[in-house]
Amino acid sequence: MAGAELGPPSPVPCVPDVYAVVYEHFSKKVEKSVQTGSEWKLGAWQDSWTRAEHAHAVEQVRAAIARGDVYQVNVVGHAAAPYTGDPSAALRRVAALAGARYGGVLRDEAWALATASPETLVEVRDGRVITRPIKGTRPATAQGRRELLASAKERAEHIMIVDLERNDLARLPGTGPVRVDELFAVREWSGLWQAESVVSAPLDGDVGLADLLRAVCPGGSVTGAPKLAALAQIAALEPVGRGVSMGALGWIGHDHVDLGLSIRTVVADGTRVHAWAGGGITADSDAIAEVDEAAAKAGPLRSALSS
């Protein structure tokens, strides 16, 4: 995003900023060979900051909100674990997690990644541009659902990001009236309830991919509001860069675009596997609860990798 402050470098510099796989359709069936690699063994996870350091970052955001610098900031933590063997099966388990709207594996010679993202960064189909921000999390139990629906804090945090996404879509050239098609709908992702809204607008003009990405990246649900001020807080507070996490991964076709926000993503770089998780901080946030929420989001990823 133009004018945004840069944070720490990515812990996985081997993954390029942009990577594309081009598919060509053939009438002839192509047989795929199945390769079996060496046995997968995952070591102990090492967080890039302690629980106390994470909680301190949450308190620093709350102080920035009290000063009027920002309204909300998404704070993200990183962890890595050493591994040996072929990560392919473990990455496929991540991609297959329940609730993954954008589940898949992408790999090159030096790296491989898997995503189980439930969140749409941007979709263009049938003349409309759509984004589906997710904000608000509870355990996927009956009590958790009631708590999420009743939480004034979670709803206020969510609506703040919905307003941000409405503004992002309105910045697109040739965009018609922006509307909220669905607000604070509760959906399940791998043992967690999450609140999702649907924001869309008609595209009256010819909008290019660069214009589209410039308007919505980085996603509001993983930055905060106002977006530039939130990015400055993120750059100052987070000890490790976000790398491929919190970016975009999906499909670009001749008649549609469908890109998921690459939350719930892990990367294997040949020696270590990396994962990120966080949450939105508001004035009413409890530091320990926010640390626990990030751990809950990372839990299914770690479990899938270690199975």
Sign of CA dihedral 169, 175, 180, 181: negative
Catalytic residue (one of 119, 154, 165, 238): 119
What CATH number corresponds to the domain at position 157? 3.60.120.10
**Domain-embedded: residue 3:** no
53-85 pLDDT, tens digit per residue, is 999 999 999 999 999 999 999 999 999 999 999
Quote the CA–CA distance of 175 and 105 in Å, as a whole number: 33
Q: With bands split at pLDDT 50, 70 and 90, how would you rate the model's confidence at 33?
A: very low
Average pLDDT of 152-181? 93
For the CA atoms of 280, 282, 286, 289, the dihedral, rounded to the nearest 10 degrees, stands at -10
* Residue 37 DSSP symbol: -
185-195 pLDDT, tens digit per residue, is 999 999 999 99
Cβ density class 59-80: b for 16+ within 10 Å, e for less: ebbbebbeeeebbbbbbbbbbb
- 273, containing H or E segment: strand 272-281
**Domain-embedded: residue 82:** yes
Q: Could you count the other beta carbons within 10 Å of the beta carbon of residue 241? A: 20
**Domain-embedded: residue 61:** yes
More confident residue, 266 or 173: 266
287: which residues sit within 8 A by CB, 6+ positions away? 55, 56, 58, 59, 62
Tell me if residue 196 is catalytic. Answer: no
Average pLDDT of 159-181? 93
Which residues face 134 on adjacent strands?
Answer: 196
pLDDT for the residue 32: 53
Give the chain's mean pLDDT: 93
34 pLDDT higher than 70: no
Tell me if residue 119 is catalytic. Answer: yes
Two tokens at 214?
A: 């410039």
Q: Which of 16-25, 41-50, 76-85 has the lowest mean pLDDT?
A: 16-25
How many structural domains is the chain composed of? 1
Pairing between strand 120-125 and 272-281? unpaired
Quote the CA–CA distance of 66 and 75 in Å, as a whole number: 17
Helix residue spans in 34-133 (DSSP H): 51-67, 88-95
Q: With bands split at pLDDT 50, 70 and 90, how would you rate the model's confidence at 35?
A: low
Helix residue spans in the chain (DSSP H): 51-67, 88-95, 142-150, 152-170, 209-216, 227-237, 287-306
3-class SS at 12? coil
Asked if 129 and 212 touch (Cβ cutoff 8 Å), the reply is yes
31 pLDDT higher than 70: no
3-class SS at 142? helix
116: Cα separation from own chain's centroid:
9
Average pLDDT of 275-289? 96
Domain coverage including residue 296: 41-306
112-162 pLDDT, tens digit per residue, is 999 999 999 999 999 999 999 999 999 999 999 999 999 999 999 999 999
**Domain-embedded: residue 28:** no
3-state helix, strand, coil in the chain (%, to 5): 30, 30, 40
170 pLDDT higher than 70: yes
**Domain-embedded: residue 212:** yes
Catalytic residue (one of 29, 109, 135, 238): 135
**Domain-embedded: residue 12:** no
**Domain-embedded: residue 9:** no
Amino acid 142 reads A
Average pLDDT of 171-185? 93
Amino acid 215 reads A
Percent of the chain with pLDDT over 90: 84
**Domain-embedded: residue 205:** yes
**Number of residues that this document lists for the chain:** 307
268: which residues sit within 8 A by CB, 6+ positions away? 83, 87, 91, 111, 112, 113, 274
Quote the CA–CA distance of 46 and 82 in Å, as a whole number: 9
More confident residue, 272 or 175: 272
38 pLDDT higher than 90: no
For the CA atoms of 139, 142, 146, 148, the dihedral, rounded to the nearest 10 degrees, stands at 20
